[in-house]
């Protein structure tokens, strides 16, 4: 099979970065796609547009080979990919991935804020195609794959937090596909379609497979641990230094060269390599990227930290997405709930504010940002890459999205030392200097 990726030229705000280069489940999206397709595809190509792949000379001598085509902003897991390919190969005709608008996972999590799906005859088409005999410009059959949603609540809350917007639950898919058009979709891909899905599939296996359940129980008894702390559920890499007082509940994966200090609690999370987590920190349902540093008493709940970021002491992040090489100062708090029960808005794929369809949602910080101590970030606010924020009498509570032009470093004496690395025009500017 030939793998053909179609470029998505858009930048995702506030990162000012292509979706393919953003980390999902602690991997650049392009690498995640490559790893999942490696058992199927023996060669790969890249195209600027869908029309380009239909040109007679695009695949040269491999024109009639079985092909899978996808846009670079798509996140999918191995379970969705397997189901889609099995059905498409059975039909022996060009096929395109599709969703029913009644699918709970798609309706609640993938469709809001998205601009990538194409409505067609009562269904939504996604940018994933299968061609049994090479790409041809003919209409593809829609293949609707059931995401196998399961409703899961994420914590116990008072009823007044959900009076107008329904219960605080996720529709967790056992098979996942979502287009990354907004920073919120990174949150959904990591948490709902990633960690929650992994937990749901594990619980399914416990209920359905007797020998799997006996294996888990056997490991727990042999190791003298609770089931959620046993080695089949807690995977730890090489050369890790973990204090004996640390509590780790699975399913959790920890990379190589990780240091975890006394009193740390980790539940159902993905920890990258070369991470340092200091005393008293708490990490629950979160993805922590490679090279991240969490000083003492940092708290993450359903939050993504991309690589080489730092969250200082006594800082609380809830349902947030933080870009790479970013510093979050001590005592900063990201809130996730409107005190007055109004809908939470976030930026969609076109950069427009739209109802997020999430009753609770944290904020997003781009790449290469520096946030000082003591800030309070209102729900769903986005801080653009390369921004510096300093807590002051005039700006301590962040109630609006913050752009590069609003960065505090423009008013600081040594502000010129902070360089902009993620301008949305940087590719154009680079070409103009050639």
Please indicate, yes or no, whether residues 176 and 288 belong to a single structural domain of this protein. no
β-pairing verdict for 333-334 and 345-347: unpaired
3-class DSSP state of 139 = coil
Residues 51 and 161 grouped into a single domain: yes
Dihedrals phi, psi of 147, to nearest 5 degrees: -75, -5
User: How much is the pLDDT for 343?
Assistant: 87
Q: Are residues 42 and 150 in the same domain?
A: yes
CATH number at residue 307: 2.160.10.10
Q: Are 182 and 348 in contact (CB under 8 A)?
A: yes
- Note whether residue 221 is domain-resident: no
Percentage above 90 pLDDT, the chain: 74
Residues 153 and 275 both lie in one domain = no
Print the domain residue range for 326: 229-433
- Sign of the C-alpha dihedral computed for residues 301, 335, 352 and 392 taken in this order: negative
Does residue 66 lie within any of the structural domains? yes
Overall average pLDDT of the 286-294 stretch: 97
Q: Is 90 exceeded by the pLDDT of residue 165? A: no
- Specify whether 279 is located in the same domain as 409: yes
pLDDT value at 193 more than 80? yes
Q: What is the mean pLDDT of the chain?
A: 91
Whether 49 and 163 share a structural domain: yes
Condensed to tens digits (0 to 9), the pLDDT of residues 11-45 reads 999 999 999 999 999 999 999 999 999 999 888 89
Q: How many CB atoms lie within 10 A of CB 210?
A: 9
Phi first, then psi, for residue 263 (nearest 5°) are 80, 5
Residue-wise pLDDT tens digits, 300-319:
999 999 999 999 999 999 99
Q: State residue 162's pLDDT score.
A: 53
How many distinct structural domains can be found in the chain? Answer: 2
Residue 158 pLDDT class (50, 70, 90 cuts):
low
- pLDDT, average across residues 325-340: 92
Residue 317 lies in a domain: yes
- Is 41 exposed, middle or buried, given 0-12, 13-18 or 19+ CB atoms closer than 10 A? middle
Query: Do 32 and 75 share a structural domain?
Result: yes
Residue 214 lies in a domain: no
């Amino acid at each position: 099979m030939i793998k053909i990726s179609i470029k998505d030229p858009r930048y995702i705000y506030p990162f000012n970065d292509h979706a393919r280069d953003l980390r999902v489940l602690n991997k650049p999206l392009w690498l995640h796609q490559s790893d999942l397709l490696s058992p199927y595809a023996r060669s790969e190509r890249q195209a600027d547009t869908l029309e380009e792949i239909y040109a007679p000379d695009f695949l040269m001598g491999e024109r009639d080979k079985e092909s899978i085509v996808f846009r670079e902003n798509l996140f999918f897991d191995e379970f969705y990919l397997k189901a889609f390919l099995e059905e498409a190969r059975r039909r022996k005709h060009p096929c395109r991935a599709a969703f029913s608008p009644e699918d709970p996972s798609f309706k609640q999590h993938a469709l809001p804020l998205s601009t990538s799906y194409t409505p067609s005859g009562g269904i939504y088409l996604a940018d994933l195609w299968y061609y049994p005999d090479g790409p041809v410009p003919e209409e593809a059959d829609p293949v609707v794959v059931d995401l196998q949603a399961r409703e899961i609540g994420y914590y116990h809350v008072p009823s007044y937090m959900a009076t107008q917007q329904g219960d605080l639950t996720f529709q967790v898919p056992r098979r996942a596909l979502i287009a990354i058009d907004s920073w919120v979709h990174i949150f959904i891909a990591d948490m709902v379609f990633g960690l929650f899905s992994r937990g749901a599939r594990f619980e399914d296996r416990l209920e359905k497979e007797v020998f799997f359940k006996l294996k888990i129980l056997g490991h727990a008894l042999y190791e003298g641990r609770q089931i959620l702390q046993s080695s089949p559920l807690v995977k730890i890499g090489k050369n890790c230094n973990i204090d004996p007082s640390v509590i780790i509940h699975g399913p959790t994966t920890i990379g190589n060269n990780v240091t975890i200090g006394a009193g740390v609690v980790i539940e159902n999370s993905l920890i990258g390599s070369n991470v340092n987590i200091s005393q008293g920190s708490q990490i629950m349902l979160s993805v922590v990227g490679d090279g991240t540093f969490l000083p003492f008493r940092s708290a993450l709940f359903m939050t993504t930290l991309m690589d080489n970021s730092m969250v200082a002491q006594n800082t609380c992040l809830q349902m947030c997405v933080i870009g790479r090489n970013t510093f979050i100062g001590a005592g900063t708090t990201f809130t996730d709930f409107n005190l007055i029960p109004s809908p939470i808005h976030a930026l969609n794929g076109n950069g427009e504010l739209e109802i997020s369809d999430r009753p609770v949602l944290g904020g997003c910080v781009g790449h290469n940002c520096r946030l000082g101590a003591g800030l309070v970030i209102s729900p769903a606010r986005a801080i653009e890459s390369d921004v510096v924020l300093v807590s002051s009498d005039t700006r301590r509570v962040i109630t609006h999205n913050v752009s590069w032009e609003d960065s505090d470093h423009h008013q600081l004496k040594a502000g010129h030392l902070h360089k902009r690395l993620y301008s949305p025009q940087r590719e154009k500017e680079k070409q103009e200097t050639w």
